Amino acid sequence: MSRPIETITVVGRDAALWLSALGLQRAYGKVGVKVHAIELPSLLQPNDVLSTLPTTYGLHGLLGIAENNVFRFAKASYVLGQRFAGWSGSRPPFMHPYDSTGTNFGHVDFVHFWQKAQRAGMNVPFENFSIGAVAAAQGRIADLRESATPFSKAAQGFNLDAFSYGQLLKAYALKSGIAHSQGILEKVDVAEGAVMSVTLADGTRHEGDLFVDATGPQASLISQLDEAGPDSWDHLYPCNRMMVMAGAPVSPAPSYSHIQAFRGGWVGMFPLQDRTAIVAVYSDDELSDEDMTQSVPVLSSVPVSGDAVVSSLNTGLRRNAWVGNCVALGEAAVMLEPLDAVSLHPLHTGLSLLVDHFPAAADAMPQARLFNRKFAGHMENIRDFQLAHYRLNQRYDEPLWDRAREMETPERLAYKLSTFKATGQVPLHDDEAFEKENWTSIMIGHNHLLDQYHPLVDGVPDAELMQRFQAMLKFIAEEVSEMTSLSAHMELYAPQKPRSSF
Amino acid sequence: MQKKIRKIVIVGGGTAGWMVAAALAKTLGTHHHDIVLIESEMIGTVGVGEATIPQIALYNSVVGLDEAEMMRETNATFKLGIEFRDWRKLDHSYFHPFGFYGVDMGGISFSHYWLRWKKAGGNLDYTKFNVETEAARDEKFLRTNDDNNIYMPSVNYAYQFDASLYAKYLRMISEKRGVRRIEGKIVDSAQNAESGFIESVKLENGQSVTGDFFIDCSGFRGLLIEQVYKAGYHDWSSMLPVNKAVAVPCAKNGPPLPYTRSTAREAGWQWRIPLQHRTGNGYVFSGEFISEDEATARLMNSLDGEPLADPKVLKFTTGVRKKSWIKNVVSVGLSNGFLEPLESTSIHLIQVAIAKILAMFPGDQIQTGLVDQYNEEMHWEYDHVKDFLIAHYHVTERDDTPFWNYVRTMEIPDELKRRLETFRNRGETLCHKSELFKEVSWFAVLYGQGLEPTGYHPVANSISEDDLKLRLAKIRSGIQDRLNGMPSHQEFIDRYCAANSLMSA
Ligand SMILES: Cc1cc2nc3c(=O)[nH]c(=O)nc-3n(C[C@H](O)[C@H](O)[C@H](O)COP(=O)(O)OP(=O)(O)OC[C@H]3O[C@@H](n4cnc5c(N)ncnc54)[C@H](O)[C@@H]3O)c2cc1C
């Protein structure tokens, strides 16, 4: 008879290690599975930032992490969307909110009606019909009143200081009753396509029925088993360098991240409580690291302090993230661009899949195939969403951006883009992180409009259409004015400044 | 038998006299009642008393004053509260705002929720949850009376004005409504031999003015209530030991602040009240601890503008008449008592007296039951304001002068002791519903003076921490939204009620 899993050994560092260990402990610790976290030295740089989607709420809920603590200890800020500026020539920036936009009339999506009105000369941007987008532009947090919930599902993700967030997760993980070791990884013993044990520099050897590789890009465990290695996606993305810096905080605190395209790539500004984290993604064909360092303050228009940390940027997917008894989670399994707030999403996805497809026996893990297929599907969809920004850019006559438009486009993405243009529909798969409203938002935002709107649209008299639009805008303005401001929320955690007067 | 009350004589034309006159003329009318006011220009009025509290709006509306006009006529500015400097200790400052902290929930005041948040390690000063404090900091003002946005707090305010001009303005209104003013000094009075009721007062020029009902607004001297009826006086100077004031106006040094400042001094405290055209100043002190000359020098040296007059000294004894209404005489204003101007309550107490007189106004006869009720109620009002004032002095860390050592260690009333104890333990202030200064005021002053509660009301634990945080953020957000839409105090005055003298200058 086969033996059930008794011990899980999670080897890794930073958020990936602690989220994996805590997640597995919460899911399987209660049935007696022992979770052992082996902590390797951090690879974080001082100003690293994690930018996450609203699904982080669900993750924290599962892990028992109080939102208050995330705010208190991880320098967190709320983000209701991403603002893209400069991606389409001289067109104004647009907001991609974590929310729907407008309401359908009958069976026809709002976007068709908007497009008709827009053609007829109405110049109200699409995003103005989204509570999430308007709220983000006004620095609100997503506390919708009941009256707004049928119309909107505005939600917020977090921007997190990577180091403090890791510390917070560690504290939770240690409190949850896992075993904990610390050291430098010396050796991974592999036999018969499985990890037998890991040995640390201090000579200690650690075994396990199931190993989780949360070592990040080093992929120290899985790389011993996965002979094929990761598929590179570098040929799909135009940038190959990344730079991280710290900028002054912006006041009042914006509740969106700002993604500014420029000649050589893009610069992202991610508000945190104590700073604006700045991440630049660029191509060394266009500018040197030095040039980039000098460009950041100009492009971000906030004072920049401290050193810039530069690294090469590679993307790719390990199609065999689970081999034998070893599952890679996080960056050991997939590398994406730091775009669209997906810093934790691959980890979250992998962890959920592992929990759902937990191996029943220690000696055979047939779930691996299913896991790998599902995981790859999810990741490809995220990648496609990121690529869509590049493919749809309208910065003409700039080599990087011209290239970004013309690079190889994965078939599924090409199909999405063309279907939307032809019909206003977004063909979705069931493993998509981004939904119809997200795709619609960025496609319209990048000016990828419908060739023609739905025929039923003409059934609504123009006057009625305008009236409905106006009512919607008024309703949104009212709802947003009653939402809480992010800066008020932040003040509740900010350290008090000494005051000389009352 | 008593006579039917037809003729009302107001003795004195200071702020009290004219406030009474204007209110009676409006509510009783001058058709059925003859209203006469006697004053002596030779004697003059106290003339200070420039800061008010929000309740004055009620008086103004009863009398039917147009706010903007009243403010233009009296060089008025808006007042959002009082800054107390150096009261808890030197180089410390706190603000006692009008209005509220946050929003009360679950039947207990917001401060308990804030205390819970703070105890749990949360940040953000309670003062950030009060829109008036925040507006005062930014020197902003907006009238929000007609605004019914329930997500933004309304702004509560009073006025800082020239009290003599206010009296003058009320005089004009009263006279328009048929109040007769008689100039002259009262030298004598005549009583009914049987009832002891005052029947007439006699002026220096020999004229006699008869009346059925007399309102004694003659100032500290208490011409009828004390000099004729010997009402007696509760002397509170052992607990409120200030007994003199030296006052002087000075030139303004910038846009007027929308608040009054009270700075603690070695033997009392100094006020600074900004009006549209000048700044009022005064040092309220105890003659036992500092001489008049020294106090005057101290005041003159601390002015932030050219003095515009010679300093004027006033003497008083803190306390209240044992009886405010005796036979057919009711004393109102300084003739009824004086609690010192720390919380700008004198004009308010005049207004309370007027409201009560109107509520209990005699028809055919003066009922002794009503008179007793009036006396009890008026005493209660003064008594509770008194405790609030005492708390300012008594709860302090100052030990740098004999005056502060005295007030810090003096005996205080039992009821106040109980309050301080309860506040220390659970942040509650045991306020009566009808008390003038509510929980918010007590909280602001006690906390500001340095009494920080160790606990809070248990009901504050009834909501989840997330819920608490969201509510706090929501309240704060409303305050931010409100502040963002507020013009500067000066801008608001300019467009709403700039005094003519300034416009033509
Ligand atoms: C230092 C100080 C600061 C103050 N600050 C404030 C403040 O900030 N806010 C506030 O609300 N209050 C303040 N007050 C109190 C305020 O000044 C008085 O409440 C207000 O002026 C009312 O005074 P009154 O009308 O009662 O008396 P008075 O102003 O003294 O008027 C008395 C009137 O009686 C007349 N009179 C007296 N004797 C006779 C007679 N024999 N014959 C004829 N007429 C006579 C006088 O001519 C005069 O018209 C302050 C008081 C002082 C002393």
DSSP B358-408: HHT--SSS--HHHHHHHHHHHHHHHHHHHHHHHHHHHS----SSHHHHHHH
Comparing A102-106, A161-165, B438-442, the range with the smallest average pLDDT is A102-106
Q: Once rounded to an integer, what is the mean pLDDT over residues B159-164?
A: 95
Residue A488 lies in a domain: no
**Domain count along chain A:** 3
Q: Rounded mean pLDDT of A376-397? A: 97
- For the stretch B344-370, pLDDT in tens is 999 999 999 999 999 999 988 899 999
Where in chain B are the domains?
A: 7-77+161-237+321-384, 81-154+396-489, 244-315
Topology match between the domains B7-77+161-237+321-384 and B244-315? no
Whole-number pLDDT of residue B339: 94
Binary contact (B137, A502; C-beta < 8 A): yes
Mean pLDDT value of segment B38-53: 90
Question: ipTM of the predicted structure?
Answer: 0.75
Residues A369 and A395 grouped into a single domain: no
User: B343 labelled as ligand-binding?
Assistant: yes
> Does ligand 1 have an atom closer than 6 angstroms to the CB of B115?
no
Helical residues (DSSP H) of A284-428, grouped into ranges? 289-300, 345-356, 367-391, 399-406, 411-423
Closest by alpha carbon to A208, among A334, A92, A327, A294?
A327
Q: Any residues with CB less than 8 A from the CB of A411 and at least 6 apart, and which? A: none
A500 within a domain of the structure (yes/no): no
Q: How many CB atoms lie within 10 A of CB B301?
A: 7
Does the annotation flag B347 for ligand binding? Answer: yes
The residue range of the domain holding A287 is: 241-312
Which of A312, A334, A355 lies at the terminal end of a domain, its last residue? A312
Query: Would you say the CB of residue B347 lies under 6 angstroms from ligand 1?
Result: yes
Q: What is the spatial distance between Cα A11 and Cα A324, in angstroms, rounded to a whole number?
A: 16
Is residue A224's pLDDT more than 90? yes
Nearest-5° angle of CA B159, CA B165, CA B166?
A: 50
Please name the residue ranges forming H helices in B225-343: 292-301
DSSP state of A338: S
Nearest-CB residue to B95 (from A68, A487, A502): A502
In A35-65, which positions are buried (b, 16+ CB within 10 angstroms) versus exposed (e)?
bbbbbbeeebeebbbbbbbbbbbebbebbeb
Angle at A128 between CA A123 and CA A133, to 5 degrees: 145
Atom of ligand 1 nearest to the CA of B51: 8
Same domain, residue pair A286 and A344: no
Q: Looking at residue B501, what is its pLDDT?
A: 57
H-only helix segments in A217-344: 222-225, 289-300
Q: Among A198-207, A275-284, A393-402, B457-466, whose mean pLDDT is lowest?
A: B457-466
Per DSSP, A127 falls in state: G
Query: What is the longest distance spanned by two Cα atoms in chain B?
Result: 77
In angstroms, what separates the C-alpha of A492 from chain B's closest C-alpha? Answer: 5
The domain that holds A23 is classified in CATH as 3.50.50.60
A331 and A457 in a single domain? The answer is: no
Pairwise CA distance, residues A288 & A307, whole Å: 16
Ligand 1 centre distance from Cα of residue B249 (Å): 17
pLDDT-based confidence at residue B271 (cuts at 50, 70, 90)? very high
pLDDT at A488: 92
Whether the predicted pLDDT of A1 surpasses 80: no
Provide the residue count of chain A.
502
- Of residues B224, B214, B192, B213, the one with CA closest to residue B5: B213
- Domain membership of residue A147 (yes or no) is yes
How many angstroms separate the alpha carbon of residue B52 from the centre of ligand 1? 14
Cβ–ligand 1 contact at B160 (below 6 Å): no
What average pLDDT score do residues B155-173 get?
Answer: 96
Same domain, A62 and A166: yes
Query: Looking at residue B39, what is its pLDDT?
Result: 96
Are residues A230 and A255 part of one domain?
Answer: no
Q: Tell me the Cα Rg of chain A.
A: 24
- Nearest residue (by CA) to ligand 1, atom 41, is B186
Paired sense of beta strands B278-285 and B208-210, if any? unpaired
Residue A477 has pLDDT above 70, yes or no: yes
Of the candidates B448, B157, B77, the one whose C-alpha atom is nearest the C-alpha of residue A499 is B448
User: A437 and A321, same structural domain?
Assistant: no
Contacts of A350 (CB under 8 A, 6+ apart): A321, A327, A328, A329, A330, A333, A375
Same domain, A115 and A222: no
Q: Model confidence at B48, in pLDDT bands (50, 70, 90)?
A: confident
Residues A413 and A474 in one domain: yes
Q: Structure tokens of B173?
A: 């209104």
Tens of pLDDT, residue by residue over A179-200, are: 999 999 999 999 999 999 999 9
Same domain, A394 and A466: yes
- Which residues of B sit within 8 Å Cβ distance of A? 83, 91, 93-95, 117, 121-125, 127-128, 133, 136-137, 151, 465-466, 469-470, 472-477, 479-481
- Residues from chain A contacting residue B466 (CB–CB below 8 Å): 66-68
Give the CA angle between residues A438, A442, A443 to the nearest 5°: 110
| Nearest ligand 1 atom to alpha carbon B53 | 11
Q: What mean pLDDT is predicted for residues B102-110?
A: 90
The answer to whether position A43 is within a domain reads: yes
Q: Does A494 reside within a domain? A: no
Pocket probe for ligand 1: among B37, B39, B216, the residue whose CB has the most ligand atoms within 8 Å is B39
**Residues in chain A closer than 8 A to B94 (CB atoms):** 502
CA distance A72 to chain B (A): 9
CA distance A329 to A231: 16
> Is residue B334 within 6 Å of ligand 1 at its C-beta?
yes
pLDDT of residue A493: 81
**Residue with the nearest Cα to atom 6 of ligand 1?**
B49
Task: Judge whether residue B243 has pLDDT over 70.
Answer: yes
Interface test with B, best of A484, A496, A497, A499 (most B CBs within 10 A): A484
For A20, A231, A326, A345, B495, the CA distances from A220, given in Å and listed in that order, are 16, 17, 11, 21, 72
Q: What is the pLDDT of residues A226-245, one digit of tens each?
A: 999 999 999 999 999 999 99
Residue B181 in tokens: 């003013």
Mean pLDDT (whole number) for A415-444: 95
A44 occurs within a structural domain = yes
Could you tell me the CA-to-CA distances from A247 to A161, A250, A302, A310, A341 in Å, in that order? 13, 9, 6, 16, 19
Active site residue B79: yes
Number of inter-chain CB pairs under 8 A, A vs B: 71
With pLDDT > 70 as the criterion, what percentage of chain A qualifies?
100
pTM: 0.86
pLDDT value for B467:
87
Evaluate if residue B1 carries a pLDDT over 70: no
**Residue A264 domain-assigned (yes or no):** yes
- In this structure, the answer to whether residues A352 and A323 fall within a common structural domain is yes
Q: Class for domain B7-77+161-237+321-384, per CATH?
A: alpha beta
Instruction: pLDDT band for B395, please (50, 70, 90 cuts).
Output: very high
pLDDT range class, residue B493, cuts 50, 70, 90: very high
Model confidence at A28: pLDDT above 80: yes
Average pLDDT of chain A is: 95
- A292 assigned to some structural domain: yes
To test the contact with chain A by mutation, choose from B123, B125, B138, B475 the residue with the greatest count of A C-beta atoms within 10 A, namely: B123
- A33 with A44: CB under 8 angstroms? no
The candidate with the shortest Cα–Cα distance to B228, out of B374, B377, B320, B328, is B328
Q: Under CATH, to which class is B244-315 assigned?
A: alpha beta
- The reply to whether ligand 1 has any atom less than 6 angstroms from the CB of B185 is yes
Query: In percent, how much of chain A has pLDDT > 90?
Result: 91
Instruction: Note the pLDDT of residue B2.
Output: 59
Ligand 1 pocket test: which of B10, B48, B96 has the largest number of ligand atoms within 8 Å of its C-beta? Answer: B48
Residue B502 clears pLDDT 90, i.e. is over it? no
Q: A230 and A326 in one domain?
A: yes
Under 8 Å CB-to-CB from A108, ≥6 apart: which residues?
A454, A456, A457
CB contact under 8 A, B137 and A66: no
**Is the dihedral angle over the CA atoms A67, A71, A72, A76 positive or is it negative?**
positive
Residue, of B488 and B365, whose pLDDT is higher: B488
The separation between the first and the last C-alpha atoms of chain B, rounded to the nearest angstrom, is 60
For residues B467 and A407, the model is more confident at A407
Where would I find the beta strands (DSSP E) of A98-202?
157-161, 179-182, 185-191, 194-200
Helices then strands (H, E): number in chain B? Answer: 15, 21
